[in-house]
Each structure stands twice: as C-alpha cells, then as structure tokens.
Structure 1
C-alpha cells in the first residue's frame, strides 16, 4: 500500500495545498488549519455556509534559513488581490480574542485590519482572519488510545476535532461507481490518500498505521469521519452541486452506531511522531 496524495489546509475551509512531503508539529501537519475565518461574533466560518471559501488559494513560502520564517499568501479569486501574512506573527501586534469552533471556545489572535478588509471584501460581510494561540493548548479528548500507547496528550489547531484525515482511492472509486458525476478526493479534504487496499473501505478495520520503514511513523486510527454538506461543494467552482455525493453515501455508509443517521467516509487519526515525509 502506498500514499498517493498528501494535502495541508493552512486556512480552515479554504483550498488545500498538495505537497510531496511535510513536517509535523504538535498540532498535526505544520501550518495545517493554523488560520481560520470568523464572523463578527467570532464564530468560525466554513464552506457549509459559504461555499466560495473553497476558491481562496493559499501559498506557503518558508525561509530556508529560518524554520519559522516566511509568509502565507492568500489570493482572492475574484480580483487576484493578495494578502500576505507572516508564518510566525509577532503576537504583540495583534489582539487576542475568544473564538468559537464546533461549539468549543478557544483563544486566537486577530491577523489585523488589512486581513479584515481583504476577507470582508471577498465575502461581502464583516469577517476576520485569526491564527492559533500557541500559549494555550487545545487537547484532543475523545476516542484516544491509552496514555501508555500515546506517550503524550495529542493537540490540534483549528480542525473540527482531529489533526489528520485519511481516505483510500479504492473507497473513492467505489463511491464514484454509484454517482452520475464522479468526484475527486478534494471533495473530502483529506490529509492523506492511500492506494492499494484489497477492497473498498478496508480502512474501517484499521487500528494503527505505520508509514515508512520504522515504527516511529505511527498513527492511531481513532474514529470514522462523519460527512456533511461540504462534500457537495465543487472544489473547482466553489458551488454546491445538488446533494451528491452526500445523499449517495447516506444510502450505504451509515456505519457508525454513535451517529446512525450520518454518512461516514474516511478515518480520523492521532499521531505519534514529529517528522513525516513520503516520496
């Protein structure tokens, strides 16, 4: 079995970046969902309500001589106007605020007036871009292996709950055979895509995943991923296109006893490593 695709999503609910290798830090893939958009009530904004977020393209430019230097560049697809944000912001220049994500209140920093204008102009209403406060931890609590296995308490930045999502090409192919219009892996916003499973949804049986030649690259499979209306957003156009693939998934992938009316696709992972790459 091999990895076929690898993605990071610097800004929650915006377009991902396909990469060949990437580092891991205490939150998951470095810079993955380290930034987030919030409304005037400081509640997170996602493609569930604002599908055009799928068109905001991020670029990460790191400085070779500084592990934390560089910039995040966001491009407005309507006018090509760029917003440039530091990868390592000076928190003294930004206000700290409480933000709400998935019903959870955590601390973040406002990226400033320029970013407020940039994202508000694109969305047509007042919004802000915030980045994760590194002074305060956001620990993962649910469905964890034993502390003896994990050796540490996993964290995440602005993901919905877990730092990694994995899907297989075989499961995607099985779904596409049932659809009139096929979809791509990007509809499901995975971090890791694998190929070479013996059958579709083989990942339902996985408990641990070792990537690479040593057991240092160890991931724990902790939960099924319950899918929502974001799977219906065309990642190329930013438009919701009917109810497929969600409706089709609901017809045969209600497989989680704890969420028996929800469709599942992909698995959520915790991790036990700090450096990850593949070629």
Structure 2
C-alpha cells in the first residue's frame, strides 16, 4: 500500500477503460503481478515515466530535398545536420524550390549517396516507365546562383543541362534545374529558436521523431480506413525509440558524445505525409485519412491545450489549424569536423 501511495495522485482520477484510480489500486492487491501491472498502467496514463535516455532506432539522409532518402547504419553530424542531407535541391524557372506538394512523383526519384564522382539518379523500374539512371557529375565550383528556400535566398551551383532535361521529362514539368548548395553558403536558422545553420532543409538541420509516435499515428490512420503509415512519410533524420508516444514533444534536448541536439521547435506538417512514397500519388481515400488523423489529434489548437514546453508556441492563433509531428533540432558540436553517430547509440534526454 505504501508503495502504491507514493505514486498515486491525491484525487480519484478517471483513466481509460472507465476505471477510477481507486478501483485500479484495489485490483492491484490481488497479486504481486497484478500490482506491477497497475503501476505500469498508471505510469503510462499519467506520464510519470520520463526516460533518461532514448536509443537511435534509425538514421535517414535525403541527398535531394523532396526525393527518396537512405536509411544509414551510421552518419556524421555536421553543423548542417547529417552529412549529405539535402545538399541538392530541384528548382523551377523562378529558381524557387519545388517539392512533393506540387510534384508528388518526386517521391519516386531515388538518388544514390553523393560521391566525388557525382550523384546518380534512379527511378524504380516498376514505376519509372523505362527511365534510365543518370550520373550527374559533381560541380562544386562555377557561377553561383541564388535559389529560394521559403524566405531564404541561398547561393547554389547549377548541376547542368542534362539533369535538367532528365528531371523535366520524368516530372513532366518544364524548366526544372538541379542545384547543389555552394561552399560559401551560410543559411542561418530562425534566431527565435537559437543559433544554427542548415542546408536546403525546410528550416532546421535535424528532424527528430519517435517510434512510439509513429505507431500511435499508424493505429489512428488504420481506424480511419487509411494505409499502414510508415516513418518514411514523415522524412525524419534521427528516429528514436525508448520513449512514450509524443514524449519527444516535451524533450528539451538529446545529448550524445560530442554533440548536443536542442529540440527547439515543433515541426508543422504539410500534405506530404498523405503521399504514398511507393507510387508517388496522393489519393483522397488514403492521403485524406493521414491528413484527417493529424488534424484531429495533432492540430495547433489541440496542442495548445496539452503542451507544456511549447505551450506559448501552440497558443499563437496562426498555428491553430496547422498540424504537428516531430521536433526540429539544432546541432552543437564539440569538434568543428563533426561527430559520427550510429543506430543503437544511446542519447541522454534533458527534460
């Protein structure tokens, strides 16, 4: 009884399944095993259990912004995030970035990891309609062009006419160009959330998600008649396990040897999670179920009622209809040359 009383709230709080806390406590006296089950249920319900560390479950790099990525067993963290992440970008005739929002078939373009020779573009044979792979020779020098990523204009190097024709043909859109971020680029993150840099990501060098959160979203989407949603729809860089669903919302930072990752801003999501990454299509039935689920459970309006760490952020009226999944992180390195991290590494959590 003394053990249970240490964990119990003072009021008779109702928990899922229509059982009050007092009833749960009574049930727990049946046996030692039952008592343990009660404690486990209570800790989940009231979120008393905050892990001191989480495990890196997987790492992802997307060489071209908006295209298919790679899961890597290990990767080097730089000031711009994981090495080779979003260092290339597709732009239109106005030199503004394009994404799966406008061109869902970008999900089918799977670039190899960049090498000293360049970047090879591929499309899966079953969906590529006979499109041949193309090696894009690496161009690091040459005339710099300013390209637009949201509100930022960033210096970049055009990668040539041949890849332009390849992209325009496959994506059926004239005037597309492939650019690589220039060595001189210094794209500063929003100073409201700390000091950092990034390449062609939407706004921050690293996106963190958790397995428990994707499991929760998958269950909810399936109940709506949608697809079995995988983490590839949410395009994270660092995917962790060992915490509860959406506990990453309240984490202040993750720490690994040689690196600090402050989780500074919730990640708002567009319609991209509604695109099937295997077919490059968005359907009302499946894509709609994903978007609907996020809106019903992860809107800014709802988050403002439950969030603690980012309560002021979610309470801004302009965020009421946005939906959120994952946390944007900055990168603070002990060494300028970067730090290698790997699947299985443990990261200490600061709450």
Partner of 1:82: 133
TM-score under structure 2 normalisation? 0.70
Check conservation: 2:158, 2:179, Cα contact below 8 A: yes
Partner of 2:144: 96
Write the mapping of 1:14-53 to structure 2, written as runs, cut at 5 A: 14-53=67-106
Q: Secondary structure at the match of 1:239?
A: coil
Q: In structure 2, do the counterparts of structure 1 residues 206 and 90 end up closer, same or farther at CA, with 3 Å as the change threshold?
A: closer
Check conservation: 1:143, 1:223, Cα contact below 8 A: no
Deviates more, 1:220-229 or 1:24-33: 24-33
Q: Residues 8-47 of structure 1, C-alpha deviation per residue, up to 9 Å, x if partnerless?
A: 0000000011101111223111111000001111111100
Partner of 1:65: none
Q: Residues 127-173 of structure 1, C-alpha deviation per residue, up to 9 Å, x if partnerless?
A: 1001101213111133434xxxxxxx421111110011111111111
**Separation in 2, partners of 1:137, 1:223:** 20
By how many angstroms is 1:175 displaced? 1.1
Counterpart of 1:203 (choices 248, 269, 277) is 248
Unaligned runs of 5+ in 2: 1-53, 304-313, 344-351
**Separation in 2, partners of 1:249, 1:235:** 18
TM-score under structure 1 normalisation? 0.88
Greater helix share, structure number: 2
Q: Residues 57-76 of structure 1, C-alpha deviation per residue, up to 9 Å, x if partnerless?
A: 111254xxxxxx34321114
- Are 1:127 and 2:176 an aligned pair? yes
* Structure with bigger gyration radius: 2
By how many angstroms is 1:80 displaced? 3.9
Write the mapping of 1:34-183 to structure 2, written as runs, cut at 5 A: 34-60=87-113, 62=115, 69-76=116-123, 77-87=128-138, 89-92=139-142, 95-124=143-172, 125-145=174-194, 153-180=195-222, 181-183=227-229
- Matched residues, number: 259
Q: Secondary structure at the match of 2:187?
A: coil
Partner of 2:235: 189
By how many angstroms is 1:98 displaced? 1.8
Unaligned runs of 5+ in 1: 63-68, 146-152
**Separation in 2, partners of 1:232, 1:21:** 28
Q: In structure 2, do the counterparts of structure 1 residues 244 and 109 end up closer, same or farther at CA, with 3 Å as the change threshold?
A: same
**Separation in 1, partners of 2:264, 2:84:** 22
Write the mapping of 1:228-243 to structure 2, written as runs, cut at 5 A: 228-242=270-284, 243=288
**Separation in 2, partners of 1:60, 1:247:** 34
**CA RMSD across the alignment:** 1.6
- Are 1:260 and 2:320 an aligned pair? yes
Check conservation: 1:217, 1:276, Cα contact below 8 A: no
Partner of 2:291: 246
Q: In structure 2, do the counterparts of structure 1 residues 116 and 234 end up closer, same or farther at CA, with 3 Å as the change threshold?
A: same
Q: Residues 227-279 of structure 1, C-alpha deviation per residue, up to 9 Å, x if partnerless?
A: 11001011111111331212111112122223121111000000112212214
Check conservation: 1:143, 1:222, Cα contact below 8 A: no
